[in-house]
C-alpha cells in the first residue's frame, strides 16, 4: 500500500492556472500557494477548478479534524463550499445499503464513511467533491467509480485504487493527495473588491470537553451521542453560516446551510431528515424497478415517491420504470413512520436564539442538542428543551464560516 507521499506525485509550481473562476466569464483564474515549499496537497490526476479548490480545501480540513477528534475514518460529500453530508466508518445496515443503492459491494470502513456522507442527501451530493480522512482502498474506489462526482482529496491511495480513479470521467476525475507535512499559516487572508481581509485561522478542535457544560435537567448522553454531536459540530464548522445539522448513528442526516434565519435552517435541514428516514420505509425499499434502470435513477425516483404529489406526467414516468405498480404512500402512513424517528442529535453553529428551533427540531426526533450558548434567551431555550426531555450542552464556541 502506498498511503502518503511515496506515490509519483505531480510537482506543482507556485501558480496553478485554472479553467475559469466561479463562472465561465471569469476567465482570468489561477491559484497560488502561499509557500511553494509548504503546500497543502499534490495533484495526482485531473485539472483543478476554482470551486473544486474551495470544496477540496474545506473538505480536507473537516475530515482531518473529525479523524483527529474521534479517531474514526471520516468522509464528506462537498457541494458549493458546504458539506451535503458527512459520515463515519460505521457499518451500514441492510436497509441503509439498499436505500443508498449498494447492496452487494464489499464495504470497508472508508467506503462506509463515504456512503453515509453521500447517502443522506443524494440530490445535493450529485456531482460532489469528496473528502476522505484515510487512504482510499479498492472497495472505496470501486464505489466512487459508480457515482457522479468531480473529484476527491484524501490522505493517500492504494495503487490499484488510484488507477481506478484515474480512469473515471475518461481520465478527467480530479485526484488530490493531502500533504500530511503541511503546516497551515496561523493567519489567513482573502481579497474582496479591493479590500484585503485578515484573521486568525479558526483552529479550535472540537472534542468531548465542549460537551461538558450540560444545562438541561436531563444530562444523560451515551458515547455514541457524544460522537454524533462532535461529528455535527465539526461538520457545521465548515458549513456556510447560518448553519445547523442533524446527526444519527455516525452520519449527518440533514444539514441546513447559509440561511439568514436560523429557524429556516432548522426547517430546511428537518425536511432533509424526513426525506432520509422516509426512504427507509418498507414501501419505498419495496419499489420494484425494471431491469436496466440505473442506480441514480432508482434513488431519484424513490425521493420523488417519498415527496409525493406527483403530476400525472410524473406518475406515468414512474410507472414506466417500475416492474410492479407502486402503492400510494399516504400522508398518515408517512406521519406514523416519522414518529418512530428518535435519538437524533442537533447542532447549531451559534447560540439558538428562540424556542421555535426547539419546537421544530423535536418534530424530527431530536433528543440531544449542542449549541454555543451565551444568549439572553438561553434560559427560555433550555426551558423548552426541558419540556421535551432533551439534553442540552452549551459549547461556548461559535463556529461561523463564510
Residue of 52, 58, 67, 79 marked active site: 79
Residue of 80, 146, 166, 360 marked active site: 80
3-state secondary structure of 206: coil
Nearest Cα neighbor of 286 from 271, 301, 272, 307 is 301
Residue of 210, 242, 272, 281 marked active site: 242
CA atoms of 89 and 66, how far apart (whole Å):
11
| CB 263, CB 360: distance < 8 Å | yes
3-state secondary structure of 368: strand
- Percent helix, strand, coil in the chain, to 5, is 40, 20, 40
Q: Could you confirm whether 25 is annotated as catalytic?
A: no
Size of the chain, expressed as the number of residues it contains: 402
Q: Could you confirm whether 11 is annotated as catalytic?
A: no
Parallel, antiparallel, or unpaired: how do β-strands 149-157 and 128-136 relate?
parallel
Q: How is 259-327 classified by DSSP, letter by letter? A: -SSHHHHHHHHHHHHHHHHHTTSHHHHT--BPTT--HHHHHHHHHHHHH----HHHHHHHHHHBSSPPP
Q: Residue 364 region, left (φ>0) first, then alpha (ψ -120 to 50), else beta?
A: alpha
CA atoms of 167 and 222, how far apart (whole Å):
43
Supply the DSSP symbol for 127. Answer: T
Angle 23-125-51 from CA coordinates, rounded to 5°: 25
Q: Could you confirm whether 80 is annotated as catalytic?
A: yes
Which H or E run includes 157?
strand 149-157
Q: Could you confirm whether 402 is annotated as catalytic?
A: yes
Which positions are annotated as active-site residues? 79-80, 242, 402
Amino acid at each position: 500500500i502506498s498511503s502518503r507521499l511515496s506515490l509519483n506525485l505531480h510537482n506543482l509550481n507556485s501558480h496553478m492556472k485554472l479553467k475559469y473562476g466561479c463562472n465561465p466569464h471569469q476567465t482570468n483564474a489561477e491559484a497560488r500557494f502561499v509557500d511553494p515549499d509548504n503546500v497543502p496537497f499534490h495533484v495526482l490526476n485531473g485539472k483543478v477548478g476554482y470551486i473544486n479548490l474551495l470544496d477540496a480545501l474545506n473538505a480536507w480540513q473537516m475530515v482531518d479534524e473529525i479523524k483527529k477528534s474521534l479517531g474514526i475514518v471520516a468522509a464528506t460529500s462537498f457541494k458549493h463550499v458546504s458539506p451535503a453530508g458527512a459520515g463515519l466508518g460505521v457499518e451500514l445496515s441492510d436497509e441503509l445499503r439498499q436505500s443508498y443503492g449498494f447492496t452487494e459491494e464489499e464495504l470497508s470502513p472508508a467506503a462506509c464513511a463515504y456512503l453515509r456522507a453521500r447517502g443522506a442527501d443524494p440530490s445535493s451530493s450529485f456531482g460532489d467533491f469528496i473528502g476522505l480522512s484515510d487512504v482510499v482502498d479498492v472497495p472505496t474506489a470501486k464505489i466512487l467509480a459508480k457515482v457522479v462526482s468531480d473529484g476527491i482529496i484524501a490522505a493517500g491511495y492504494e495503487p490499484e485504487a488510484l488507477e481506478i480513479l484515474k480512469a473515471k470521467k475518461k481520465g478527467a476525475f480530479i485526484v488530490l493527495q493531502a500533504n500530511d507535512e503541511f503546516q497551515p499559516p496561523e493567519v489567513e487572508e482573502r481579497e474582496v473588491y479591493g479590500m484585503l481581509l485578515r484573521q486568525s485561522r479558526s483552529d479550535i478542535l472540537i472534542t468531548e470537553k465542549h460537551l461538558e457544560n450540560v444545562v438541561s435537567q436531563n444530562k444523560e448522553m451515551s458515547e455514541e451521542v457524544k460522537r454524533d454531536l462532535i461529528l455535527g459540530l465539526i461538520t457545521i464548522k465548515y458549513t456556510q453560516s447560518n448553519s445547523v445539522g442533524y446527526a444519527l448513528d455516525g452520519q449527518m442526516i440533514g444539514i441546513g446551510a447559509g440561511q439568514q434565519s436560523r429557524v429556516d435552517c432548522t426547517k430546511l435541514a428537518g425536511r432533509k431528515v424526513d426525506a432520509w428516514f422516509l426512504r427507509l420505509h418498507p414501501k419505498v425499499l419495496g419499489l420494484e424497478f425494471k431491469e436496466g434502470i440505473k442506480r441514480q435513477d432508482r434513488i431519484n425516483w424513490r425521493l420523488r415517491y417519498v415527496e409525493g404529489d406527483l403530476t400525472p406526467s410524473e406518475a406515468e414516468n414512474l410507472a414506466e420504470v417500475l416492474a410492479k405498480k407502486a402503492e400510494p404512500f399516504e400522508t398518515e402512513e408517512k406521519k406514523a413512520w416519522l414518529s418512530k424517528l428518535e435519538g437524533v442529535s442537533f447542532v447549531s453553529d451559534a447560540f439558538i436564539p428562540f424556542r421555535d428551533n426547539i419546537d421544530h427540531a423535536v418534530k424530527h426526533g431530536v433528543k440531544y442538542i449542542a449549541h454555543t450558548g451565551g444568549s439572553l434567551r438561553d434560559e427560555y431555550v433550555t426551558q423548552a428543551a426541558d419540556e421535551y426531555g432533551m439534553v442540552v450542552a452549551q459549547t461556548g464556541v461559535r463556529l461561523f464560516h463564510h
